[in-house]
A = this chain, B = another copy of it.
Amino acid sequence: MKALIACNEGVETAYGADQVTAQLKSAYSEFFEREVYIFPVASGTAGNGLALGAITPPYGTIFCHETSHIVTTEGGAPEFYSGGGRMRLLPGDHNKISPREFNEALQRHGIGNAHHMAASAISITQATEAGTLYQLDELAALSETAHRLGLKVHLDGARISNALVSMQSSPAEMTWKAGVDVVTFGTTKNGTMNAEAVIAFDPDLARVLGYMHKRAGHLFSKMRFMSAQLLSFLENDLWRSNASQANSNATRITRALKGCDDVEFAHPVDINEIFVSLPQGLSRALADCGINLRPWPMSSGRDGFRLVLSYCDSADDLELFEKTCRDYARDALVSADGNQQSPSIG
């Protein structure tokens, strides 16, 4: 018989929370091939803020790429959660921090120089905001430098599923085996409603995260909904099939675009994101059949677009996109032939 006072929430929730925590911990520990500590949150900003705040003291510096999401669009979450830390912005091709740039920045910054802030953390986005990837040896090189000088390593994995699938790496290889200390594990961009998680590998770090997670209001009294999402993400390799589908959709569209002249890719297409400049005729043709691309500033100065492919793109839509490209390419060829022939006619 159930207790009369059915919503005696304190007791029940605590119980539920423990159950859920245990299940999540177990599922994600298996996923990462070692014991992990998992803290569900409802936004990537919360996840990054907590993860960085746990490894950055108020007087600490976070080294990161100048285009990082944590820099550009998270409202100052790293400063908030660290209690006054600073981000030191690094340049780098295709939104990647190179080990050389990181080394030089650390040299200039110094270690133990009180006139500067402490060098505390590096934040690496995998896949990057440009849809590009760090290879495992690149991750390991950054981590090695970081650890040697006392910094911790954060991985912003908003698109980690796509990276894992693309690189055919295991979650373990891409994180703790490569020296990562704490991960913002994203699922929202790959299938869930609003569930992300901070994953830590070290119990001391987990202890800090526990306090911060509660204190910031991300420990929810009814965790069932969120945990259900995070568990279903791993079940039947849902994460993998979704990410594979999205990546292969991007490969199809990339191939279609490459068939057209004057199409310029800003970055290699490593996952499900395409950053591209198109000839005006092509973007107009796409718009004519209802495909409106999202404008995106290109460093080249040309008008550009960002395409994010998804597991839920329909086959019809993809075919329509391909057909529009093929038609455009053919017409352009004809037109070019016409142009070439024009003078000879004249």
A49 in contact with B7 (CB, 8 Å): no
A334 contacts chain B at the CB level, 8 A cutoff: no
B194 in contact with A3 (CB, 8 Å): no
Residues of B within 8 A of A211 (CB): 57, 59, 75-76, 114, 117-118
Shortest A50–chain B CB gap in Å is 8
Q: Known: A49-B217, A80-B84. Is A6-B313 also a contact (CB below 8 A)?
A: yes
B77 in contact with A216 (CB, 8 Å): yes
A79 in contact with B73 (CB, 8 Å): no
Interface residues in A303-323 (C-beta closer than 8 Å to B): 307-310, 312-314, 317-318, 320-321
Alpha-carbon distance A43/B115, docked complex (angstroms): 13
A346 contacts chain B at the CB level, 8 A cutoff: no
Stretch of A94-102, A139-147, A290-298 lying at the B interface = A290-298
Residues of B within 8 A of A59 (CB): 75-76, 80, 208, 211-212, 215
Shortest A42–chain B CB gap in Å is 5
Scoring A5, A43, A75, A213 by chain B CB atoms within 10 A of each residue's CB, the highest score goes to A5
B221 in contact with A194 (CB, 8 Å): yes
Residues of B within 8 A of A9 (CB): 189, 308
Alpha-carbon distance A8/B307, docked complex (angstroms): 7
A188 contacts chain B at the CB level, 8 A cutoff: yes
Residues of B within 8 A of A226 (CB): 194
Residues of B within 8 A of A210 (CB): 112, 114
A75 in contact with B220 (CB, 8 Å): no
Interface residues in A131-189 (C-beta closer than 8 Å to B): 188-189
A207 contacts chain B at the CB level, 8 A cutoff: yes
Residues of B within 8 A of A312 (CB): 6-7
Partner of A43, one of B73, B221, B290, B309: B221
Q: Known: A5-B310, A114-B75, A313-B6. Is A46-B217 also a contact (CB below 8 A)?
A: yes
B222 in contact with A188 (CB, 8 Å): yes
Partner of A308, one of B8, B42, B47, B83: B8
Residues of B within 8 A of A48 (CB): 217
Alpha-carbon distance A226/B212, docked complex (angstroms): 23
Closest 7 CB pairs of A and B: A46-B217, A7-B310, A1-B290, A83-B83, A75-B214, A4-B317, A75-B215
Which residues of A pack against B, CB within 8 Å? 1-11, 41-50, 57-59, 61, 73-77, 79-80, 82-87, 112, 114-118, 188-189, 193-194, 207-208, 210-222, 224-226, 289-294, 307-310, 312-314, 317-318, 320-321
